[in-house]
Structure 1
């Protein structure tokens, strides 16, 4: 009993056979209280389903991360541990669950690691909340057999394969598709950033069209002048939030400016001149790409190919417009592969061309850790070098196409892309 309040300091226990055992139990509990190790039965009996709800309400992360945490908790953590008291979760039970989770065919190693990471953070916070003395997740101890982490099998990104993808996208989607593929390959932008790219943040309008006056003035000074560098600005990504398609900051708040090679600047200019959408890359029906399942409805057809058929164009449906679509050949290097490999390939090109690590990682939207990230800075010279090496790859591609090259297209385009490409081929032949 507390001498001041007369209340119990800790939970009592009965059934001792000797007075010495009872006395030692009391001394142990008093030592736990003095050293902040004591967990009352009431606190330790909080159910995981209740603690998980409070824990999720208290995390301060981005919208997508919070949505992911809530989903993993609802689908995997609560069904297994919801009716278990926080203080009753044993390390052995956790290890058995982790093993079973990794073995599930619908989960996979990477997703299981995400789920277990969320659970580990909950247990760490439960210790801080005095609901248990230690976490059941022993992350520093290595147990069991070594399993090498599997790596995705992928090929080098060849400029010829990018052109094949772009031509397939032109056939299936139109001019926006051709420019979309080349923009992702040259900038390494994330898909959701491309979906949300607005015309005021894209060359040739940007940087003069930037609504932020201070940012506009700095960009005009850096990318304009006597030797301008065409560029676009990553300000947003498109994501669904509360069932509403929303413009959110890019992942990791990675707002950045990306210089583009002259050929891509010309393509972007032609594309923006061909439509009046607020989005640089409108979908087949004219709406935002983020409202469709891009991977299924666009990318799989572009990478895997499809048989000849008809395709609904803008205004399609009952009484609408349908257009014939020729067979689209598969691109073997990307058949069955994901769109994100174009982003990986963009980094491979920069690494291969010998650009500095700070310039490459910044362009990808990453931050370098430690002293290197603190002291390094991307200079205009670094950006110009990136622009020039990307243009050099394009020139090499054009030389390989040759003067007999003809661009296949199943419909009339709003611009003379075929004529423009023939001019690019001719110009490449004249460059020493």
Structure 2
């Protein structure tokens, strides 16, 4: 039973926690500050009830400061290196500055709601990033409950989470991905980045590969060399031998041309490394014949290990691609001009090392590179229900949940229909363009690419 003792004008209640101290004596917990003895006694009875029903949190345990708990908590997570880095950054920049000096057990739901409102009002925290910070905080509080530092989380769940006025989540406005717009992007890329750029744009638009997967695409995983050249170097892929044997029967120059998405480039502690694709979505992507021809053309023009090289011939992943490559290609840029500089005390007129003509802007001005991946799914969806959902989602690197995903499988015929629909779209574009495909280019294209485009036009005319 609890007992009450007076100390000056206030009284304190003490109760047994049900645990023993190292010396074998019972452990007590207490709370002071009461002015009414009955109120203090009833409070002690409630705590003893919590102990009997296994819902009691010791005030000593709950007194651990958030900054101390946050110091060790990230080490308990089993996440990828990029996610780990992001979580530690959110804790350091937003969670510890607000809650660091607060005891884990003292965070109240009302204080959390106020912080949530303040956090989303910060100018440097967008809607999506703010939700990610709150998700990390919710995980922290859930684990604090599991560690018996709190009786419950201050973060509302379920219907309580939707408390407050309704606010529709903003969605990015997209426009239909038209093949003529993609072709202009490819021509701009050829101007800014040569043949690599032209093939890069068409590869992303017709495979839906993520940018980091394209950066890491190696010759041995690309048509026309794969699957015969597959190095089977992914030791985490346990069934790679069996998978490779099936690939040899299903894909190849005389069967279905394809690319194998096995790796992506990411940085870990500043060092560029190969990692499995996002969500470990290793997959095979059949490519339309016109892209297969472009890949052959590109790979015959260089002997690099990687399919797509940077402008200087190095690793594409080392470049700030979105800024230095995508923005000039999508937004356009003025022609290069001579500029003045002072060298050894003399004023000089200098010609840029890579003089470029004016590159026209496209409908993707100000838009993200990732929209090419979104547009690829649009193209597949447009095929009038020809393609199964499992084939589409597998191609995008997604898993289909539930029974549908468990029982379904991507067959050769499904892949062939995707390949044929993409090829038909290209041939229809060539036939309907009404102009020579190289005319919108700001430069005279590389001879091999120009000859290929002329052959595409001629073939389309002969077929019609």
What is residue 282 of structure 1 aligned with on the other side? 309
What is residue 154 of structure 2 aligned with on the other side? 136
* Distance in structure 2 (CA, Å) of the matches to 1:191 and 1:204: 21
What is residue 290 of structure 2 aligned with on the other side? 263
Q: 1:252 aligns with which of 266, 279, 288?
A: 279
Aligned residues: 422
Change over 3 Å in CA distance of 1:221–1:4 after alignment to 2: closer
CA contact (8 A) 1:238 1:245 kept: yes
Superposed displacement of residue 419, structure 1 = 1.1
- Alignment TM-score, normalising by the size of structure 2: 0.86
Superposed displacement of residue 184, structure 1 = 0.2
What is residue 218 of structure 1 aligned with on the other side? 246
Superposed displacement of residue 288, structure 1 = 0.9
- Which has the larger displacement, 135-144 or 231-240? 135-144
- Which has the larger displacement, 264-273 or 101-110? 101-110
Superposed displacement of residue 168, structure 1 = 0.2
Superposed displacement of residue 42, structure 1 = 1.5
Superposed displacement of residue 13, structure 1 = 3.5
Name the larger-Rg structure: 2
* Distance in structure 1 (CA, Å) of the matches to 2:139 and 2:163: 20
CA contact (8 A) 1:310 1:323 kept: no
What is residue 362 of structure 2 aligned with on the other side? 331
Give the unaligned 5+ runs of structure 1.
312-318
SS of 2:29 mapped into structure 1: coil
Change over 3 Å in CA distance of 1:70–1:163 after alignment to 2: same
SS of 1:245 mapped into structure 2: strand
1:13 lines up with 2:46 in the alignment:
no
What is residue 192 of structure 2 aligned with on the other side? 172
Give the number of the structure with larger relative contact order, counting CA–CA contacts within 8 Å between residues 6 or more apart.
1
Superposed displacement of residue 348, structure 1 = 0.6
1:226-237 pair list within 5 angstroms:
228-237=255-264
* Distance in structure 2 (CA, Å) of the matches to 1:298 and 1:102: 32
* Distance in structure 2 (CA, Å) of the matches to 1:216 and 1:429: 40
SS of 2:290 mapped into structure 1: helix
Superposed displacement of residue 24, structure 1 = 3.6
Q: 2:71 aligns with which of 30, 45, 53?
A: 53
Structure 1 or 2: larger strand share? 2
* Distance in structure 2 (CA, Å) of the matches to 1:336 and 1:50: 43
1:175-214 pair list within 5 angstroms:
175-212=195-232, 213-214=241-242
CA contact (8 A) 2:19 2:27 kept: no
SS of 1:324 mapped into structure 2: coil
* Distance in structure 2 (CA, Å) of the matches to 1:287 and 1:78: 40
1:101 lines up with 2:119 in the alignment:
yes
1:345 lines up with 2:375 in the alignment:
yes
